Amino acid sequence: MRKIILISLVALCACNSSKKSTQPIDVAVKQMDVPECIKTLIVTYKKEQKQNPPRSIYSYTYNGKTVYYVPAICCDQYSNLLDGDCNLMAHPDGGITGKGDGKLPDFKTARTNEKLIWTDDRE
């Protein structure tokens, strides 16, 4: 269910974007070794107006599996933690308290192998 909601939100954002890109999907994005839904998320973010701070996506190893962390773009919003199938696992930080939804309180201390997958480097 969460995967469907996430994919629906990504599609909704892409459809409602006021700045439609007429360029094909970036070759570098196509060649990334990440799940297709992460690629779709990157393409969606590239169609949106650039955020400050810029959007980014990281991968980590958490409990022996690769997960994807998408930091919040502002203030009291939640960050998202996705599993390898792009299911929403939790909101490890953000929100009014800054501590997320409390579902994975050990994420910050247990995660390893941080890799910046993508950051919006548009000017």
To the nearest whole number, what is the mean pLDDT of the chain? 83
Question: What is the separation, in whole angstroms, between the first and last Cα of the chain?
Answer: 36
Has residue 99 got a pLDDT over 60? yes
Task: Please give the average per-residue pLDDT across 23-36, as a whole number.
Answer: 75
With cut-offs at 50, 70 and 90, classify the pLDDT of residue 25.
low
pLDDT digits (tens, 9 = 90+) for 46-93: 999 999 889 999 999 999 999 999 999 888 899 999 998 899 999 999
Q: Give the pLDDT confidence of 6-15 residue by residue, as tens digits.
A: 443 444 444 3
Exposed e or buried b per residue across 65-87, where buried means at least 16 C-beta atoms within 10 angstroms of its C-beta: eebbbbbbbeeeebbbbbbeebe
Euclidean distance between CA atoms 83 and 67, whole angstroms:
5
Supply the pTM of this predicted model.
0.77
